[in-house]
Structure 1
Amino acid sequence: MTTVLKPDICVIGAGSGGLSVAAAAAAFGVEVVLVEQGKMGGDCLNTGCVPSKALLASAKAALAEAAGKKLGVDLGPARVDFARANDHVHQVIAAIAPHDSEERFEGLGVTVLKEHARFTGPDCVLAGDTEIRARRFVIATGSRAAVPPIPGLDTVPYLTNETLFDLRKAPEHLIVIGGGPIGMEMAQAHSRLGSRVTVIEAQKALGKDDSELAAIVIDALRSEGVTILEETKVAGVEKTATGVSVNVETANGDRNSVEGSHLLVATGRTPTVDGLDLEKAGVAYSRKGIEVDPGLRTSNRRIYAIGDVTGGLQFTHVAGYHAGLVIRSILFRLPAKENRDLIPWVTYTSPELGHVGLTEAEARRRHGDKVKVLRAQYSGNDRAQAEGKTVGCLKLIAGPGGRLLGADIVGTQAGEIVNLLSLAVSQKMTMKALAGFVAPYPTLGELVRRAAISYYGEAPNNPWVRRVVQFLRIFG
């Protein structure tokens, strides 16, 4: 017998975005049904952000000997136990899991259905033997690892982020296809934990970031022994007696092969829309994801889509941002519009690479010669010198009136500094504001103030400013 539920909101997908919508709506006393066929917490908790950052933490600890010697402390040679590093990954997942659990959300008043959801009409979803007729639906099904059509890939064992964290032994030679954030983070992590690593990238590694700053990360990985082949296409993959062989072709037409024990495919993400029967709901979509308007509504006005499934910027914090916009729209009938100019991102390599707002190229297209690029080097920061972390650079992109349009940073704790810059961009702060705040000494945050002060670097040489100063001296 089919059970019929008529909640105010039905959320499909219990990843970051879906859980945020469900928790917020329930907090306001709204009836919510949450449908999830997989693990609560979605990709971020189980196979994405959380396990990758946990493994990176273990990898960073593996360099304690080198870091200690630089500061005058001999810690002795590090001994890496990859299985224990893997244990750490799963302990971190287990520690966070209760916050995203079915039990917690049911305690909040959310009805949780562990079933596959599919639309049967424009206002109805079927989940197992439960029919859900909600006033509004929110699709938050996320994305999965994209697998490119590489000849022979289907004949060899390969890893994605969904299987990588099941390894209990460090790969002898890990070949990574894809030089984006996931590929580069995992390349450095496994290199530090004892693997030989080769990254193959068809274009430029970390190509979505500022090329000057990305080059600093790439150089750092290469200095640690990671082989990075840029502008190199994968022509095919073959199985060997000891693992895999990847046939490659360089930009100048040279052909070669790279042999390794394990293969990681890190070539991006694809939205999860399979099996939702979106056609029956009148929801337009393509292979790029579900089509939404600036308010995140689909072609069916009853239905919203948020996070990775929309095919936009695929970050956990974007899904959370989308959730807030949707709650604003559904519960309070207030206007809500996505603004991608505000979205930050960080690649958690060592050094970290962060960005927020407009890139320099985007800023110049919009504002022409009114754009100024301001810099501060880590080597000029006292805290960075004290800790021996002097490799890095901050770039502030100032527009008309000195308004902060965007920023790029590479260096230690870049992700933490991007927090401040993200606030500054979202609040339309100017160089005057960033130059005027008081930063505790010594901190890396002083980089922001130093870069902002340089906006006024030409003022002492301005003849009018000098005349004003001379005039005011008359009055004592």
Structure 2
Amino acid sequence: MRGDGMSMREVDIAIIGSGTAGMSAYRQARKRTDRIALIEGGPFGTTCARVGCMPSKLLIAAAEARHRLAALSAFGIASDAGAVDGRAVMKRVRDERDRFVGFVLDAVAGFDPAHVLRAHAEFEDPHTLKLSPAMDGSAPPVERVRAGRIIIATGSRPAIPAALRAAGDRLILSDDVFDWQDLPGAVAVFGAGVIGLELGQALHRLGVRVHLFGRDGRIGAISDPVVRAEATRLIAAELPLSLDAADVRVERDGEAVVVHFTDPGGAASSERFDYLLAATGRTPNVEMLALECSGLELDARGLPVFDPQTTRAGDSHVFIAGDADADRVLLHEAADEGHLAGEQAARYPAVYRHTRRTPLGVVFSDPQIAYAGRRHAQLLADGVAFAVGEVSFEDQGRSRVMLVNHGLLRVYGEQGSGLLLGAEMIGPQNEHIAHLLAWAIQARMTVADVLQMPFYHPTIEEGLRTALRELLTALGMGAAPPLHCIDCGPGA
């Protein structure tokens, strides 16, 4: 408390935000100090549990279950199942979503209540945070927090281009989808990144008429042009896809949204939808923090300039983690960054650089899109001398047996050293292949090292071995593999 009538709490560490990064930071900071303030102005819980990875996977699981029915006739099995009860589908999504959120809320409830402040926070000066009422209207118990160190873990929110706002109340975000009581008839999805591709394909497979709109030919965070072309071909074969639509204009017509656009062939088109889903990226939640009062150096986006290996902003006492830094916007990365920020803030001023884990990302489309290690565009930008090996899943044995034989895997190795550098792919169950590759890359294995690992027959992973053998040949470190080699097994 202060004697000037302005209530103040003094702490060693103040953490702004209680999502994945904030919760992880709190746990680490708590190991070294009890003088902590965990400040949250919005709902408790993580983006992943409430409106992100978990509810989207619930919708995808329902869509995949129905989609597999289409393959039954190819196996010689007749079925007339597959009618979609939209209300039942969405009820399971909401119920399971609430269950996952409950786990997060239970974790927050386990925190020391004396540490938790329900309030919005903004910088008043580099060490002082001014508090205001939280979203629910609750007044904070103090007006200010003065902290020796501050961790920014405020997360992100969907970004909405101004051109889409003409849809009015028919403009929805990915957050809104998971509160639907029933499935709509038609949805225009803008954004062919991870969220747009996952939700667009899932809705399509559940019987919703979907048109997916993208920009500049990009799809699913793929940078390798060969993999991108294959992904575009596969997705476009299933649902309407416009990755290069021009002259896009959105308007309301009664309760419908009308999208006018010109396709790549120059033809003018118009389509009516019940909703327009904006999946056009996310924006860090930093604009309400009054960062101009923080004393931090800000980049062109208004974000603190920071070191990803320490999470420290410049040479200050401020650390930033999770979606708020717009670096690696994934749950496991947010958890890692929060852990690092909490540890560093507690140790301050003894701050040490830490090696980050190998990059790993998965799009839960079908076929799955994934990357591990350094991506194709990054290797080119860094001027790395590398070679490429690839395999098509079209004739890959196990994939063909299961009738999921679609996709392409490309792996990259360093010329000279033979180190495995990275991979990009679209194919069946590629989440598992991407994990194997990320572990191998982090262990700094060469391509030859990975080929000494066991590969069971028949598995989809045998396709990875084929790509690695081609890569070893391209690196000049091995002979060309024989066609349909005996040790691979038939069709491997």
Instruction: Calculate the TM-score normalised by the size of structure 2.
Output: 0.85
The amino acid across from 2:246 in the alignment is: K
> What does the per-residue CA deviation read over 1:354-392, in whole Å, with 9 as the maximum and x for residues that have no partner?
012222343245455x41101233345433233222112
> Could you tell which deviates more after superposition, 197-206 or 24-33?
24-33
Superposed, 1:240-279 pairs within 5 Å as 240-250=253-263, 255-279=268-292
Is 1:432 the equivalent of 2:448?
A: yes
The amino acid across from 1:336 in the alignment is: R
- Mapped contact 1:27–1:108 kept (Cα < 8 A): no
Distance 1:429 1:198 in 2: 42
- Mapped contact 1:26–1:108 kept (Cα < 8 A): no
**What secondary structure is seen at the aligned counterpart in 2 of 1:394?**
strand
- Mapped contact 1:26–1:109 kept (Cα < 8 A): no
- 1:175 is displaced (CA, Å) by 0.7
> What does the per-residue CA deviation read over 1:120-168, in whole Å, with 9 as the maximum and x for residues that have no partner?
2211223323232222111111111111121762645201112122222
The amino acid across from 1:335 in the alignment is: Y
User: Given the superposition, is the C-alpha separation of residues 42 and 286 from structure 1 closer, same or farther in structure 2, using an over 3 Å criterion?
Assistant: farther
Distance 1:287 1:6 in 2: 32
Pick the aligned partner of 1:185 from 188, 198, 207: 198
Is 1:362 the equivalent of 2:365?
A: no
Residue 40 of structure 1 is matched in structure 2 by 44
Superposed, 1:110-149 pairs within 5 Å as 111-127=115-131, 128-130=140-142, 131-149=144-162
Residue 82 of structure 2 is matched in structure 1 by 78
Residue 26 of structure 1 is matched in structure 2 by 30
**What secondary structure is seen at the aligned counterpart in 2 of 1:282?**
coil
- 1:328 is displaced (CA, Å) by 4.2
> Could you tell which deviates more after superposition, 52-61 or 22-31?
22-31
User: Given the superposition, is the C-alpha separation of residues 371 and 287 from structure 1 closer, same or farther in structure 2, using an over 3 Å criterion?
Assistant: closer
Is 1:330 the equivalent of 2:333?
A: no
Instruction: Calculate the TM-score normalised by the size of structure 1.
Output: 0.87
Structure 1: any 5+ residue segments left out of the alignment? Answer: 463-476
The amino acid across from 1:302 in the alignment is: H
User: Given the superposition, is the C-alpha separation of residues 144 and 151 from structure 1 closer, same or farther in structure 2, using an over 3 Å criterion?
Assistant: closer
Distance 2:455 2:275 in 1: 47
User: Given the superposition, is the C-alpha separation of residues 337 and 116 from structure 1 closer, same or farther in structure 2, using an over 3 Å criterion?
Assistant: same
Pick the aligned partner of 2:228 from 196, 214, 217: 214
User: Given the superposition, is the C-alpha separation of residues 137 and 459 from structure 1 closer, same or farther in structure 2, using an over 3 Å criterion?
Assistant: closer
- Mapped contact 1:283–1:290 kept (Cα < 8 A): no
> Could you tell which deviates more after superposition, 205-214 or 179-188?
205-214
Superposed, 1:167-186 pairs within 5 Å as 167-186=180-199
Residue 107 of structure 1 is matched in structure 2 by 110
Structure 2: any 5+ residue segments left out of the alignment? Answer: 132-139, 481-492
> What does the per-residue CA deviation read over 1:276-316, in whole Å, with 9 as the maximum and x for residues that have no partner?
12222223446735223223222571111112221223222
- Mapped contact 1:398–1:404 kept (Cα < 8 A): yes
Pick the aligned partner of 1:312 from 318, 327, 333: 327
The amino acid across from 1:183 in the alignment is: G
Residue 92 of structure 1 is matched in structure 2 by 96
> Could you tell which deviates more after superposition, 204-213 or 41-50?
204-213
- 1:343 is displaced (CA, Å) by 1.6
Pick the aligned partner of 2:392 from 377, 391, 411: 377
Residue 163 of structure 1 is matched in structure 2 by 176
**What secondary structure is seen at the aligned counterpart in 2 of 1:135?**
strand
> What does the per-residue CA deviation read over 1:375-428, in whole Å, with 9 as the maximum and x for residues that have no partner?
233345433233222112221100031101111121121112211111222222
- 1:459 is displaced (CA, Å) by 6.2
User: Given the superposition, is the C-alpha separation of residues 424 and 367 from structure 1 closer, same or farther in structure 2, using an over 3 Å criterion?
Assistant: farther
- 1:82 is displaced (CA, Å) by 1.5
**What secondary structure is seen at the aligned counterpart in 2 of 1:14?**
coil
Distance 1:343 1:220 in 2: 25
- Mapped contact 1:217–1:350 kept (Cα < 8 A): no
Distance 2:336 2:273 in 1: 40
- Mapped contact 1:65–1:74 kept (Cα < 8 A): no
> What does the per-residue CA deviation read over 1:303-336, in whole Å, with 9 as the maximum and x for residues that have no partner?
1111222122322222123223324423443522
- Mapped contact 2:15–2:153 kept (Cα < 8 A): yes
Pairs aligned (count): 458
Is 1:229 the equivalent of 2:231?
A: no
- 1:55 is displaced (CA, Å) by 0.8
- Mapped contact 1:392–1:411 kept (Cα < 8 A): yes
Distance 1:124 1:202 in 2: 42
- Mapped contact 2:59–2:202 kept (Cα < 8 A): yes
What is the root-mean-square deviation in Å for CA atoms of aligned residues? 2.7
Is 1:346 the equivalent of 2:344?
A: no
Is 1:389 the equivalent of 2:404?
A: yes
Pick the aligned partner of 1:63 from 62, 67, 71: 67
**What secondary structure is seen at the aligned counterpart in 2 of 1:133?**
strand
